[in-house]
Chain A
Amino acid sequence: MELTDRETWTVLHGLVFGTAFLLAFGGGLAGLWSLRPGFLTAAGIRERMRRLYVGTWLMAAVAWATVTSGTWIVYPWYRAKLAAQGAEDFAGCAGAVLPSGTCSPRDFLLSNASGNTHLWHEFGMEWKEHISWAAPLLATAAAFLVSYYGPRLIARPWLRAVTIVMFVGAFGAAVVGGAFGAFLNKVAPII
């Protein structure tokens, strides 16, 4: 059992960071949701806030790690132009059922060599590669709001709601990236 360098980075980018992001999101959302007047004692607030600070900053850090590794390490392998020969853009993908050394995942999807696949790139990958970058911006802003206001969020329901909106917005952007990433890796894996 072994993984190539590319498989290792794909697993780190999608599975390891993605799982950590999900865990941090679940914990952070539960913590934020329960920051309400009358729910906690002063000692409980101190204990809860420590976990919330760690969880929200962990989610932001993982979001940054995911988008930077995805964009600068994994994405160039996906989008390499390997299939062009002479005037034919996708000659290297002729008869292919999966990407190969002469047919990158992007080439493979756009070539329609194995069914009608071009929209996986033109819609799925194009949306994923862009919107995913909203996740670290929103997650960092939400983590800052939690750290800056701290227990004061208990007394300010509107501010707590806004922090949750930004937190969930970060998650939503990551879901688009993660879901299309999982599908794309099934249809056209990086080899």
Chain B
Amino acid sequence: MSGMREVTNHHDAERAPELAELHLREKPDGPGAAAMVAAGIGIFVLGLMTVLSEASVPIHDFLERLAFGRGVGPLAGKTIIAVAAWAASWAILGAAWRRKDGNIRGWFAVGLVLGILGALGTFPPFFLLFGE
């Protein structure tokens, strides 16, 4: 379920008459929704990796190997994977929704919840609960 539909008229120039002079074309909300959800996914994956690194020695060691000997430790793997998830999800959702409109408020809520959960995962008193 994408919750997306074909582009509708947003009536921007009716709500703000000064925009009429700018002759703005209609734009779908899909790309905007994709940016919101992808940001939430990126932060969620960052928090998830932080918790998993604490909870599992093999995962910690795998994340540390992604530092390529630069001395960054597991933070390297956590951030590389989070940024990759962010970029990939944005590319995929952006392509899928580029000509679609939809419930952008709902998709923002999804991104917001993911972002809050991710931020919680990066909070030391929380992720240390999972320490071995």
Interface residues, chain A, CB within 8 Å of chain B?
Answer: 37-38, 40-42, 45-46, 67, 71-72, 75-76, 79-80, 122-123, 126-127, 129-131, 133-134, 137-138, 140-141, 144-145, 148-152, 154-156, 158-159, 162, 166, 169, 173
Contact = CB atoms under 8 A, between A and B. Distances in A.
Main secondary structure of the interface of A (DSSP, over half): helix
B19 A152 contact: yes
Interface of B: 10-19, 21-22, 24, 27, 31-32, 35-36, 38-39, 42-43, 46-47, 50, 70-73, 75-76, 78-79, 82-83, 86, 104-105, 108, 115, 118-119, 122-125, 128
Nearest to B21: A42
B79 A159 contact: no
B67 to A, nearest CB: 8
A79 B71 contact: yes
A185 B46 CA distance: 25
Question: Which of A37, A80, A129, A152 has the most chain B CB atoms inside 10 A of its CB?
Answer: A152
A155 B26 CA distance: 13
Q: Which secondary structure characterizes the binding site on chain B?
A: helix
B118 A38 contact: no
B36 A162 contact: yes
A38 B16 CA distance: 7
B7 to A, nearest CB: 13
B50 A137 contact: no
A77 to B, nearest CB: 8
Given A130-B122, A134-B43, A152-B27, A72 B70 contact: yes
A71 B119 contact: no
A141 B36 contact: yes
A159 B122 contact: no
A191 B42 CA distance: 33
Given A131-B123, A133-B82, A152-B19, 12 more contacts: A37-B16, A45-B19, A79-B73, A80-B71, A122-B124, A123-B125, A127-B122, A130-B50, A145-B35, A152-B24, A156-B15, A162-B108
A171 B83 CA distance: 18
B19 A123 contact: no
A133 B32 contact: no
Nearest to B38: A141
Contacts of A41: 18
A72 B18 CA distance: 47
A67 B18 CA distance: 40
